[in-house]
Amino acid sequence: MSPINAPALGLATLSLVLSQATIASPDARSPANRALTAAEDHDARMGWWREARFGLFIHWGLYAIPAGEWGEGTDYAEWIMNSAHIPVEQYEPFVKQFNPVKFDADDWVRMAKDAGMKYIVITSKHHDGFCLFDSALTEYDVMSTPFARDILKELSEACERGGIRMCWYHSIMDWHHPDYLPRRGWESRSAEGADYDRYVEYLRGQVTELLTNYGDIGVMWFDGQWEGTWTHEYGQPLYDLCRQLQPEVIVNDRVDKGRKGHSGVVDDKYAGDFGTPEQHIPATGLPGVDWETCMTMNRHWGYNKNDDAWKSTEDLIRKLVDIASKNGNFLLNVGPKADGTFPEPCVTRLREIGKWMKVNGEAIYGTSASPFSELPFNGRCTVKGGDQTTTLYLHAFDWPSDGALDVHGIGNDCRRAYLLADREEDLPVMRRGTGVRIVVPPDAPDAICSVVALEITGRPVVYDAPQIVSASEVFVRPLSVELQTPSDELEIRYTLDGTDPNEGSALYDKPITLTDTTLIKARSFHNGRAVSEAAEATFSRVTPHPDVARPEGGLRPGLRCEVFEGDWNELPQFADLQPSTVETVRTIELPGGPAVEYVGRRFRGYLRVPRDDAYLFALTSDDGSRLFIDGVEVIDNDGLHGAEERRGVVPLAVGFHRIKVEYFNKTGGAELRLRFAPVGRELIDIPEQMLMQER
C-alpha cells in the first residue's frame, strides 16, 4: 500500500519505474551492504538449527482430554473446539480435568535425545487459547488446573540438563480470548466490545513472558496467522519484539503474512527466518531458503485415541533422509495423552529411529543438499565437507543386487569409501567413464537405509547439464538468458543455431541477449571435454496482443466489483448468478477487516498498459481465483487452499486491455493479491491509475 498523502503515480512515471534500475553507491550504509550484514546475522543465528536437522514437535493441551471424541464424532484432535463447535463455556471445564500426573519432563527429553533429535518445539498455547505455562496475563493456564505446575518451566530445565534446545510454538489465533477477532461463524458469542489491538497487546505480553522467564529459547514457532485480522503491520513488530528480547532467537515465517499456503515458500518482503512446509516434502526442496517440514506420525497433531494410521519407521527414516538431502529440517510430531505420556506407537518409532541415527546420524547432522539432480540407485545423497575434502553420504534404500553402488557424473578424485556401519573397512572404488563404482558387501547393513560414505578431494564437481534460466519463454523486447553450471570447475559452451555444442562452440561468460526466436543448446565441459548431455530451450519472440477499443461511453477510474454469496469448493459460474451487491473498487484486493466467509467476487474492467512488452502476472489467493486478459485465461489458481501464488505471462501492446479476476472464499483465512511487471523486472501491485471501468 502507498503511504498516506503519497503523490499519485502517473503512467509516465510508472513506465520509468518499470524500465529503470536503481544503482546503489558502494557506501557502507548502502542497501547492499545492509543486506550483507543481515545475511551474516541470519547465518550466525541459523547455525545450530542447520546442524540439528531433526527436532520433536509436541502438540499438547486440553484437547488431549476428549482424545478426539465429541458427541458422535471420533475424528477430532487439537482443533476440536472449532471443528465440533464447542462453545467457550462448554470447553472451559476441561481446565478442571487437566491433571497429567504421569508427565515427566526428563523422560520426554530422554526420548527425543535417544531418537537423535536436537530440539523440542512444544505448544505453549494452541488455537484454543489454553496456556501450558504460568502466565501473569490470564488464569486460563496450567496453574488453574489440578496439576498446577508450570510444564514449560519443567521442560525447559530438563532440556538444559539434556543438551536439547528448547523452542516454543505459540498461536496467534485464540478462540477463547474475548478480544480476538474474527469470531467463529458457528458461535453465538457477540463480538460487540471486542478490541483486536487489545488482544495483540495480550499476545505480545505472553511472547514477552516466554522469552523472558525460561532462559535461552531456540525458536519462536508461530501459527494461526492466516486470518484477515492479522496483518504485516502486526507481524513485523512481533518478529522485532522476539529479536529484541532474545537477539539470537530464530522465528518462523508464520509470524507474518509471507507464507504461501502449505508450500513453505516465503515472500522475502515479510518477516521470518525459515519456511514451514506442512505434512509434505517439497519435491526439490526450497533452494536458497531455510526450511523445515513439520509432519505428524499418524493423521492428527493432538492425541486422538482412534487414530491408528501410523507411518512406519521405515517411512519416517526415509523422510528424514529425503528432507536432509534437500537441505531441510524434519520436525516430527507427537501428541501426548492426557496423563502426560507419549502414545506407545510414538515411543516405539522414536526408539527405532534412534537406533538408526546412532549408526548413521553423521549423514544427517550438519549436511547440505545433494549436488546430483538424480541418482542411479533408489536413495538419496547428503554432503558434508569443504575446499579440501568432501564426504558424499550415499543413502541406499534398496541394496544393489549386483554388489556395486554406482555414482554417475562425478569429476573428483576419490580418496576412500566405507560403510557407516563399518567405518574401519575400506570399500573398493573404481573409475568408470564419468562416474565411479563402489563395490559393496552382498548384504545390506540396514534394511531401511544403508549409508556408504564416499570421500572425494575438493568440492563436488558434478557433470550435470547446464540450466538455461530466463524470466519467460516468450518475449517482446530483448530477453536476457542465463546459463548456470552445477560446479564452478565446469565451463559451459553453447550454440544458438540448433547444433549440439562441442569444444569449439561459444564459451559462456555472461548473459545472452535474444532479439529473435532462438533455440539455445548448452553443454558442460571439464578439462576440455564434454561431460554432459546438451540442455536445450526455445525462446519465442511474439507479437503482443493488440489493445482493445474503448467503450463508446468512455472510461472512469476503478473496477466493477460484483459480490456473490454462496458455499463453493471451486469457482462457480458467476455469469449464472445474481450478485448481492455491486460496487466500484480502486484495486484488486479484499476489503480490510475480518475475513468474510462464503463469498465470491468478480472484478471487471480495463488495464492500461504503458508499453509493448511481455508481462508477468502473479495471482495470490485463499481460496480460489482466476485471471483473464482480453477474455483469455492467464492464471488458474482455483480450488480450496491456503494462500497460494500462481504465475502467467502474456504479451500485451500499449493501450487498454480487458481484465477480469474471479475469486471465492469458503472458510478460514481470506487473501487476494495481483501483481505484475514486464518479464525480468520486479513485481509490483497494479497501481490504481492503471485500472479503469466503463462509465
Q: What does the pLDDT look like over 484-494, one tens digit per residue?
A: 988 888 999 99
Distance, in Å, from the CA atom of 126 to the CA atom of 182, rounded to the nearest integer, reads: 16
pLDDT at residue 542 above 80? yes
| Lowest-confidence pick of 24-28, 69-73, 446-450, 574-578 | 24-28
pLDDT at residue 179 above 60? yes
pLDDT at residue 8 above 60? no
pLDDT at residue 222 above 80? yes
Distance, in Å, from the CA atom of 41 to the CA atom of 18, rounded to the nearest integer, reads: 32
Distance, in Å, from the CA atom of 675 to the CA atom of 620, rounded to the nearest integer, reads: 9
Helices 196-210, 232-245: inter-axial angle, 10-degree rounding? 20
pLDDT at residue 26 above 70? no
In this prediction, what percent of the chain has a pLDDT beyond 90? 85
Contacts of 150 (CB under 8 A, 6+ apart): 133, 134, 142, 143
The stretches of 143-195 forming alpha helices (DSSP H) are 151-162
Cα angle, residue 386 at apex, residues 385 and 391 outer, rounded to 5°: 30
| Lowest-confidence pick of 435-449, 544-558, 584-598 | 584-598
User: How many other CB atoms are there within 10 angstroms of residue 635's CB atom?
Assistant: 22
Region 623-629 average pLDDT? 96
| CB-based contact 114:350 (threshold 8 Å) | yes
For residue 1, what pLDDT is reported?
29
Region 268-274 average pLDDT? 88
| CB-based contact 101:340 (threshold 8 Å) | yes
Q: Give the distance from CA 616 to its chain's centroid.
A: 22
Q: Grid coordinates representing 678?
A: 514486464
In this prediction, what percent of the chain has a pLDDT beyond 70? 93
Region 79-92 average pLDDT? 97
For residue 263, what pLDDT is reported?
59
Q: What does the pLDDT look like over 453-469, one tens digit per residue?
A: 999 999 999 999 999 99
pLDDT at residue 483 above 90? yes
Cα angle, residue 548 at apex, residues 544 and 554 outer, rounded to 5°: 145
For residue 670, what pLDDT is reported?
84
Give the chain's length.
695
Q: What does the pLDDT look like over 405-419, one tens digit per residue?
A: 999 999 999 999 999
Region 5-31 average pLDDT? 35
pLDDT at residue 118 above 90? yes
- Which has more confidence, 510 or 269? 510
For residue 552, what pLDDT is reported?
85
- Which has more confidence, 660 or 596? 660
Q: How confident is the model at residue 261 (pLDDT cuts 50, 70, 90)?
A: low
| CB-based contact 99:34 (threshold 8 Å) | no
Distance, in Å, from the CA atom of 553 to the CA atom of 112, rounded to the nearest integer, reads: 71
**For residue 49, which of 109, 111, 119, 122 has the smallest C-alpha distance?**
119
pLDDT at residue 113 above 60? yes
Contacts of 681 (CB under 8 A, 6+ apart): 18, 19
pLDDT at residue 19 above 50? no
Q: How confident is the model at residue 228 (pLDDT cuts 50, 70, 90)?
A: confident
What is the rounded average pLDDT for all residues in the chain? 92
Region 585-590 average pLDDT? 94
Q: How confident is the model at residue 641 (pLDDT cuts 50, 70, 90)?
A: confident
Region 189-212 average pLDDT? 97
Q: How confident is the model at residue 10 (pLDDT cuts 50, 70, 90)?
A: very low
Domains of the chain, each with CATH number or no CATH: 51-363 (3.20.20.80), 379-457 (2.60.40.1730), 467-541 (2.60.40), 547-694 (2.60.120.1560)
